[in-house]
A = this chain, B = another copy of it.
Amino acid sequence: MSARILVRVQKEGFDASAEAAVLTQGRGDIGALVSFTGLCRDEGGVLAALEIEHYPGMAEEEINRAALEAASRWPLEGVVAIHRYGLIRPGEPIVLAITASAHRGEAFAAASFLMDYLKTEAPFWKRRHLAGKGAGDWVEAAAQDHAAAQKWRA
């Protein structure tokens, strides 16, 4: 395994193209780049923002574990995983996962795995802020996310 792994947990936004360029710049062996961006949805207009709490230290470590696991399962040249915290408005990006590989099948599988793993293992919690109402309820974990993560253990 020789994948370059870049993990960050930050308040600021990110530039997916710039992050991808870090992996591909000057390389002639990367044929496939898959980039996943998770965005804040407005839930039909009722959501003013998502507030994302995280466990500093463990969050970075857990995402790093996910990236290492992905790089051990597929022949990857690079992985970028960035997760934001704090107040995030609808339309803004929350999470970025990029995988670079020689071939597309591996890059797609690894990016999908990384997101499934992040969703269920990385210590982040979302709470809704409703339009005109301030802090609202905490988002509940979705059973489908756990089912998605479970399929990689089969």
Which residues of A are at the interface with B, using a C-beta cutoff of 8 A? 15-17, 20, 24, 26-42, 45, 47, 90-91, 102, 104-105, 107-108, 111-112, 115, 148
Do A91 and B31 have beta carbons less than 8 Å apart? Answer: no
Residue of chain B at shortest CB distance from A29: B41
Q: Is the interface of A mostly helix, strand, loop or mixed?
A: mixed
Question: Do A30 and B39 contact each other (CB < 8 Å), given the known contacts A17-B17, A104-B115, A112-B108?
Answer: yes
Determine whether the beta carbon of B105 is less than 8 Å from that of A148: yes
Q: How many copies does the complex hold?
A: 2
| Assembled-state Cα–Cα distance A111/B32 (Å) | 13
Given A32-B38, A35-B37, 11 more A-B residue pairs with CB atoms under 8 Å apart are A15-B17, A26-B91, A29-B41, A31-B39, A32-B37, A33-B37, A33-B39, A34-B36, A35-B36, A104-B115, A108-B112
Residues of B within 8 A of A35 (CB): 16, 34-37
A40–B30 alpha-carbon span in the complex (Å): 8
**A115 proximity list for chain B (CB < 8 A):** 104, 108
Q: A16 contacts which chain B residues (CB < 8 A)?
A: 16-17, 20, 35
Q: List 26 A-B contacts (CB under 8 A).
A: A15-B17, A16-B17, A20-B37, A24-B91, A26-B91, A28-B41, A28-B42, A28-B90, A28-B91, A29-B42, A31-B40, A31-B41, A32-B38, A32-B39, A33-B38, A33-B39, A34-B34, A35-B36, A35-B37, A36-B104, A36-B108, A38-B104, A41-B102, A104-B115, A108-B108, A108-B111
